[in-house]
Amino acid sequence: MHDQPDQLEPETLMREISDLEGRIGELRQAAGVPEPDLRATLDAALVELELALTVLRTMGGEQTGGQGGSAAAENERRVLRTVFQDAPVPLFLLDRTTSVRRVNRQAAVLLGTSSGYVSGKQFTAFCDMATRAAVRSQLAAVVRTGRRRRVNVRFLGRDHPVDAVVTLARVWIRGEPDPMVVVAAGPTTTPTDDKAHDRAARHQARTERGGPGDDEAVATIVHRMDVLATASELLLDEPVFNETVAVRRCARLLAAELADWAFIDLTGPNGGPGGGAQGGIHAAGAAPELRRQVVMGPEDEHSVEAARMLEEVEPAHGTLPHTVFVTRQSALRPHVEDLDVLGVCPDGQPVCGKIGVTSVLSVPIEDGDRAIGTITLAASGEYGPFDLMDLGVVQRLGRYLALVIRAARLYRRRAEVADTLQAGLLPKRLPEIPGVRVAAKYLTSTHGSDVGGDFYDVFRTESGWGLVLGDVCGKGEDAAAVTATARHCVRLASRWKACPGDVLGIVNEALLDEDRFVTAVMAGLTPETERIIVSLGTAGHPPAIVVRADGVIRSASRGGVPLGLFEDFEAGLDAIDLTVGDTLVLHSDGVLEACDMTRQEFGQQRLLEALAAHAGHTPEDMLAGVERALLDYCDGDLRDDVSMLALRVEPPTLG
C-alpha cells in the first residue's frame, strides 16, 4: 500500500468531469428529499467546488508512480486482509466508484447482515437517503485529493438507524489501477432526536405485540400474523366483494403496519400474464397495461402531496413493479442502489429520491390463472430493511387480495347487466324547461349487483312541470317492476291532477297490491314572472331542500307515509317560491345513510354543508360536489343507491 500522485490524462479528466456532473445532480436531488440534511449537502457542495478547482490547477500534470512485482503485491494483499479483518472497528474498502470491495466482521455486525451481502453494493446504499449525495461527494473528494475526511453518517442497520462518524482515507494498492478508499466507523449510537423517538415508539408498537419481555423475533412473527389476520378481516368484511374498497384497505393497512409507502398496481379484467411454458412472459407488444390504482404513505402534508403525484406515475417498463408483474416473480431489494427502481417523477427526479426510499419489495397479485397486478412496499429504513419474512407476508396478502378482486370482477359483470336494466327505469335525458336548469345524479350501490330501487323523473303536468324522486324497498327484479309502476303511474296521474298530494294518492292506490312499499317526494312547478311556485308532496321520504341564491339553505316540511302500505293515505304538503338563482334539491335516503369506516352516517348536516359549499355553482357542479364529499366520506363504499335532482331558476333571457 503506498501513496501516488493524481493522474489527469485526458481520458481521466473526462471521467472526472462526468462523475462531477453526476454528483452535482445528486446534491440537487438530496436537497429535496424528506427531512434533508442541508448542512451536510452544503458542506459537500463546497467540497465539489474545491475538487473542481484542484482539477483545473493540475490539468496537464504528468502521471507518476509505479507498481511492484506480483509476489510483493500478493504479500501486501495478504497482510492487508489480515489487518483488515482483525481491526476492532468497522471497516469498509471501496473502489473509486464507491462500490464495496470488502468489509470486516465489525462492519457486517454494524449493518446486521453478512459480509457477502454487502460486497459489490454501493456504500451509499447502506446510508440514510438524506445524506447519500453528501457522502458520495466526500468520498469523491478523498479519492481526488488524498486528504482524509471525517463525515457524519446514518447507517441503515437491520433493526434501526445507527449514527456514526466515519473517517475516509485514500489508499493505493499494488495491482489496482485506481486509488481505493478505506472507511473506518467511529463510536456509533442510535438516533436521539424527537422524530427518532417517535419512530422508535412506532417500531416498538409494531414488534412488541407479544407482550413485555417476549423475544423480539417471536414478537415480530406474532406481529406479521396479526397483520395477515387483520387483512383477512378487512378484505372479507363485505357482503359483496368490492375491488376499489379492498385495494384501498389493503394499501392503508400495509402503509400503517409494514412500510412507509404502499403502491398497488392492477391490470384490466382480461389482462395479466398467465401460466404456461413461457412462465407468464409476453411476446413483444403483447404485454397488458399495468395501471397505478392507489398510493398510500405517511400523513404529513409533504407526503400527502407526494402521494397524489405518485398516483399519476404509471409503473413503466423496466421498473420493479412492472418486472414483477410480467415475470410473476417476487423481488426483494433490502438496500436500494438504483434510485430509478420505482420509476421517475414528472420533474425527472427518481421516485425513491422523492420520498426517501432505501428498501423496496414487490410481489405479484395472482388469482391462480394469471397475474392481475402487483403490491409494492417502500420504506426509509427507519425500522431496518425489508427481509424474507416481510416478503412472505406480503406474498400471502397478495393472494388474498387477488381472490377478492376476482370475485369483485365477477360481481361487476353482473352489475353491468343490472345497470343496463336500471337505465331503462330512468329517463334517458332530462327535458328542457323554459326558465330553469335541471340536473340529475345517480350512483349505484357498491353492495350487490341487483337492480336498485331508486328512480327519478321530470315531466309535463296539467299546470306546468313535475319532478319526482322515489325509493322502492329492496332490490332486484321484483323491485324493478314496482319502480316502473310507480314512475309511470306518477306521470299518468299528473295529466289530470295538479296537486302533488293528489297524484301521490293515486299512486298509493296502484301500489296497494304490491309486496313492496315506496317512499317518494314530488314537486309541481308553476312558472310565473321571475319566479316559480313549487308545490311539494312527500310520502315518507327525506324532504326537499332549497338553496337560496344568497347561500341560505332551508328544508321543506316532512310528512306522509310510504306509498303502498295503507288505503287511508295522506301526503305531507308544502309550498315554496323560487326566484332567480334559487335551487331546489331532491335526494334519496342513500345520501344520508352512507357510512364511514366507523359506521357513522353522512347525515343531513354534512349534506347541507356540501350544498352550501357549491351554492353559486351550476346544478351539475352542485350535485358533483355532493358526490365527491359523499364518496370521500365513505371511501367509495356506498351501501345503498344514491339519486339526486337539482333545479335552478335562471335569469330571464333577452329577445
HSE of 399 in the Cβ direction (CA atoms, 13 Å)?
A: 8
Using CA atoms, how far apart are residues 633 and 73, in angstroms rounded to an integer?
71
Cite the DSSP H helix spans in 564-652. Answer: 589-592, 603-613, 619-634
* pLDDT digit string, tens, across residues 300-339: 888 899 999 999 999 999 999 999 999 999 999 998 889 9
Using CA atoms, how far apart are residues 365 and 250, in angstroms rounded to an integer?
12
Closest alpha carbon to 253 in 281, 216, 284, 227: 227
Return the pLDDT at 504: 95
- Residue tagged 332490490 (cell numbers): 475
* pLDDT digit string, tens, across residues 572-607: 999 999 999 999 999 999 999 999 888 899 999 999
Closest alpha carbon to 295 in 248, 229, 356: 248
**Averaged pLDDT, 407-433:** 72
- Measured in degrees and rounded to the nearest 5, phi and psi for residue 417 equal -65, -45
State the first-to-last Cα distance of the chain, in angstroms, to the nearest integer.
97
Is pLDDT of 470 > 50? yes
Using CA atoms, how far apart are residues 153 and 131, in angstroms rounded to an integer?
7
Q: Is 10-191's fold the same as 426-649's?
A: no
HSE of 298 in the Cβ direction (CA atoms, 13 Å)?
A: 15
**Averaged pLDDT, 377-391:** 83
* pLDDT digit string, tens, across residues 12-68: 666 777 777 777 777 777 767 777 776 676 667 656 666 665 665 555 444 444 444
| DSSP state, residue 260 | S
- Does the domain at 198-415 match CATH 3.30.450.40? Answer given as yes
Q: What b/e sequence results for 363-386 when a residue is b if at least 16 CB atoms lie within 10 Å of its CB, and e otherwise?
A: bbbbbeebbbbbbbbbbbbbbbbb
Confidence band for 143, pLDDT divided at 50, 70 and 90: confident
Return the pLDDT at 284: 43
**Homologous superfamily (CATH) for 10-191:** PAS domain (3.30.450.20)
Return the pLDDT at 280: 42
Confidence band for 190, pLDDT divided at 50, 70 and 90: low
Is the whole-model pTM more than 0.75? no
* Greater pLDDT, 503 or 483: 503
Is pLDDT of 3 > 60? no
Q: What are the structural domain ranges in the chain?
A: 10-191, 198-415, 426-649
Percent of residues, the chain, with pLDDT higher than 90: 32
Return the pLDDT at 70: 59
At 353, which amino acid appears? G
**Averaged pLDDT, 536-561:** 91
* Greater pLDDT, 85 or 376: 376
- Residue tagged 400503517 (cell numbers): 256
* pLDDT digit string, tens, across residues 259-292: 899 999 998 765 556 544 334 444 444 557 899 9
Closest alpha carbon to 589 in 571, 601, 572: 601
Compute the mean pLDDT over every residue in the chain, rounded to the nearest whole number: 80
* pLDDT digit string, tens, across residues 347-364: 899 999 889 898 999 999
Strand ranges of the sheet holding 291-296, from the earlier edge strand across to the other edge: 291-296, 261-266, 371-379, 359-366, 331-333
* Greater pLDDT, 365 or 207: 365
Is pLDDT of 117 > 50? yes
* pLDDT digit string, tens, across residues 610-636: 999 998 899 999 999 999 999 999 988
Is pLDDT of 474 > 80? no
Using CA atoms, how far apart are residues 2 and 20, in angstroms rounded to an integer?
26
Residues 6+ apart with CB under 8 A from 505: 569, 570, 571
We find that the CATH architecture of domain 426-649 is 4-Layer Sandwich (3.60)
Contact indicator for 289, 325 with CB cutoff of 8 Å: no
Is pLDDT of 205 > 60? no
Closest alpha carbon to 326 in 365, 267, 271, 273: 273
**Averaged pLDDT, 518-545:** 92
Closest alpha carbon to 155 in 127, 187, 189: 127
Is pLDDT of 241 > 70? no
